[in-house]
Amino acid sequence: MISRYLFLSAILLVMIFSCHKVETPFRTENLIPWSIVAFDKLERTPSERVAMIKNLGFSQYAFGGRKKHVETMVDELNIAKSEGIKISAVWLYINNKDTLTALKRANEMVFESYRIIHPNLCRYRC
């Protein structure tokens, strides 16, 4: 009985030490910071936001802001692109007054901004 436990323990130790280290999903290159635009206490400019993201070690973030932020979205997209920062997602504020054919003006501005930077992105709706 003891030899069986020793054998199983030896197998277990071999398995543990032979396994490759599994990468953690919480590395900065796997994370996408959200709501840094709308909830920025310091109300940074697009350049300052992109610099902050870069200084924190992120290579991407999600753009989500109020109408005043959407107005400078094209600038922010261009600054982020020039700094090698990817905007991986965009937050839209959709409620029961929005429809597929009539979005709020701020949401339409998001699509218009994206169309300027990525003209082939919105082929059907935009």
Q: Tokens at residue 115, please?
A: 């169309």
Q: How far is CA 101 from CA 6, 13, 73, 86, 97, in A?
A: 69, 61, 22, 28, 11
Domain contains 11? no
Q: Nearest to residue 61, comparing CAs of 42, 94, 83?
A: 83
**Predicted confidence pLDDT, tens digits, the chain (126 residues):** 566 666 666 565 555 656 556 567 788 888 888 878 878 889 899 999 999 999 999 999 888 877 788 888 888 889 999 999 988 888 777 777 777 677 777 777 877 877 777 666 555 444
pTM: 0.66
Domain contains 15? no
Report the DSSP pairing between strands 60-63 and 86-90.
parallel
User: CA-CA distance, 13 to 17, in Å (whole number)?
Assistant: 6
Domain contains 2? no
Give the contacts of 51 (CB within 8 A, at least 6 positions apart).
83
Q: How many domains does the chain have?
A: 1
Domain hosting 70: range is 27-117
